Structure 1
Amino acid sequence: MSKINLKDKVVLIAGGGKNLGGLISKTFATDGAKIAIHYNSGKSKAESQKTLDAVRASGGDGFIYQADLTKIENITKLFDETISRYGGIDIAINTAGMVLKKPFMETTEKDYDQMFDINSKIAYFFIKEAGQKLNNNGKICTIVTSLLAAYTGLYSTYAGAKAPVEHFTRMASKEFGTRGISVTAVGPGPMDTPFFYGQESKEAVEYHKSASALGGLTQIEDIVPLVKFLVTDGWWITGQTIFANGGYTTR
């Protein structure tokens, strides 16, 4: 197959306003894609607007859309709004997530429900909506975590809630494959973003830096090219979770 071009492709990115999602938005826009940038709450609006401004400054087209995706009807509205603006969707990428580092014995039911709503429920229904509404030969990618291959404590609800996404990815790829839709997941190592530092002590940060074979934390710049590959020329990879972490964990 000839090289897949992002020019005029419509890309919907959950959590696309900042951090990894923001860089994906800006990078894909420079390649000519039209970008639907989702953000969760008003706290992220200003940064998401900056991302949209950067998209437009690069000559790209896009819009921002605020929604709490734990309310499943909002996932439907996000997809429908994108289709109403651009006529269809070619690529759907879900970067939404939440980390909780907490001992098993201190975890509450509220903690559990929140973590599974954000990390698992959103992922499931995002993939479902994409499967229903993506154009033929579309691409779906979800960001998970390299903790899925780790032997550790304290992240039971985070890693536990991301773990089902591997199964969602495999089964969706099998069901959607007849339409040429590939479905993948990417598991970064601990990323050097505010998303990571909020629950880590200085000592834990130093440990995570030392744990990768190549040294240091994962940079969002290390992940964007992989995501781009999977939703373009790497479309033949489907149903798989790819760990990109500098040797932080392996399988």
Structure 2
Amino acid sequence: MTVSQRVAIVTGGSHGIGRQIVERLAADGYAVVLNYATSKVEAQQAVAEIIAAGGDAVAVQADVADEFAVADLFDTAERTYGGIDVVVHSAGIVIHSPIAELDLADLDRVHRTNVRGTFVVDQQAARRVRPGGAIINISSTTPRLSLPGYAAYAASKAAMDSITLILARELRGRDITVNAVAPGATTTALFLEGKDEQMIARMAAMSPMNRLGDPTDTADVVSFLAGAARWINGQVLYVNGGAA
């Protein structure tokens, strides 16, 4: 690592939007610590591709809701690269169900990963990110859309937005920006699973751009917030083509 190289942790970085963010930050010159929960093969593949392209990355397994595992994740980043400049919290799960039919055990699963996980990751980030750094939570447009079947997920992302805005104000004077990026419907395997062509077309039509988002759309905004955007702080940026 060179003295000028910045270091990023990306949770949920083995696939989907998180994977694209990992690739983008690596291309931007960051040393990347890719966190994954269970997708070890995909995580190792991502690291291998970054190294083959001349970048620097390591993969670290951790359950984002486990405070001890997350502390170890941050310890690994500091031991390997000497410090942490950017934390992108992209890990999350979604369970679809009408409120009347939702198994409360599933509600607890969603909120453990998406709410507790955000709090645990942001807590470590608040303690360890260096001045001039950035904390970026990957939220969602769903709290604005009020889509049937999304109550558990939307509520968890609304909680993430609140954590983000409060943390930005708690870090006053630290020269660390804290923002959330809220994608709309995006062409990831997680989004496409279980949806027929008509449903996908309807969701694409929600945006005046008449298309679904691509993971690169979100990664572009994360790259901006992680680097040049030092005067954007305490915001939720909607990356949805105008869908909401």
Q: What's the secondary structure of 2:132's corresponding residue?
A: coil
Letter in 2 for 1:147: T
Pick aligned residue for 1:22 from 19, 22, 36: 19
**Length-normalised TM-score, structure 1:** 0.92
1:29-61 deviation digits (Å, cap 9, x = unpaired): 1222101000111xx111111110111022111
How far 1:199 sits from its partner (Å)? Answer: 4.3
Letter in 1 for 2:22: S
Q: Give yes or no for contact 1:223–1:244 (8 Å, CA) kept in 2.
A: yes
| Residue 234 of structure 2 corresponds to residue 239 of structure 1 | yes
1:167-188 deviation digits (Å, cap 9, x = unpaired): 1111110111311010000010
Give every structure 1 segment of 4 or more consecutive aligned residues whose post-TM-superposition deviation is greater than 2 Å.
Answer: 198-204
Pick aligned residue for 1:31 from 19, 28, 40: 28
| Residue 48 of structure 2 corresponds to residue 53 of structure 1 | yes
| Residue 210 of structure 2 corresponds to residue 248 of structure 1 | no
Structure 1 residues 177 and 199, CA gap change in structure 2 (3 angstroms): farther
**Length-normalised TM-score, structure 2:** 0.95
What percentage of aligned pairs have identical amino acids?
A: 29
Instruction: Give the alignment's Cα RMSD to 1 decimal.
Output: 1.4
* Counterpart mapping for 1:108-119 below 5 A: 108-119=103-114
* Counterpart mapping for 1:135-154 below 5 A: 135-154=130-149
Counterpart-to-counterpart distance in 1, 2:87 and 2:65:
17
Partner of 1:3: none
| Residue 79 of structure 2 corresponds to residue 64 of structure 1 | no
- Figure out how many residues of one structure are paired with residues of the other and give that number: 242
How far 1:231 sits from its partner (Å)? Answer: 1.2
Partner of 2:216: 221
Counterpart-to-counterpart distance in 2, 1:87 and 1:143:
25
* Counterpart mapping for 1:80-91 below 5 A: 80-91=75-86
1:92-130 deviation digits (Å, cap 9, x = unpaired): 001111111111111111011001011111011111110
Q: What's the secondary structure of 1:196's corresponding residue?
A: helix
Counterpart-to-counterpart distance in 2, 1:21 and 1:151:
24
Q: Give yes or no for contact 1:14–1:94 (8 Å, CA) kept in 2.
A: yes
Counterpart-to-counterpart distance in 2, 1:20 and 1:70:
19
Letter in 1 for 2:34: I
Q: Give yes or no for contact 2:64–2:91 (8 Å, CA) kept in 1.
A: no
Q: Give yes or no for contact 1:82–1:88 (8 Å, CA) kept in 2.
A: yes
Q: What's the secondary structure of 2:131's corresponding residue?
A: coil
> Structure 1 stretches of 5 or more lacking a match?
1-5
Q: Give yes or no for contact 2:187–2:212 (8 Å, CA) kept in 1.
A: yes
Q: Give yes or no for contact 1:30–1:59 (8 Å, CA) kept in 2.
A: no
